[in-house]
Amino acid sequence: MTWALGTEPAAVVIEEAMAKLDAGHRSFKLKMGAQDPADDVRRVCAIAEKLAGVAGVRVNINARWDRLTSLRYLPSSPTRCRSR
């Protein structure tokens, strides 16, 4: 079952995700679109890097970004997070 994580700061979301890992969750959906795109991507990358190798991570932009914003800011692969 996928657990939805909110738009709180990365440290808060990571703490929640770690607790859910202990409860058996291995799939997470991160909400995006509530912050400045560059800040939001940095937040999501920090969370995804912490969960790498232990859980699947997806994002939900909640229809807040248009196509051009998505293409500009979303990393096309996890390795792009590390270069930000």
Each of the 84 residues of the chain gets a pLDDT tens digit; together they read 899 999 999 999 999 999 999 999 999 999 888 889 999 999 999 999 999 999 999 988 877 888 899 888 887 665 667 655
Q: Express each pLDDT in 34-55 by its tens digit.
A: 889 999 999 999 999 999 999 9
Contacts of 44 (CB under 8 A, 6+ apart): 30, 32, 59, 81
User: How far, in Å, CA of 67 to CA of 74, rounded?
Assistant: 10
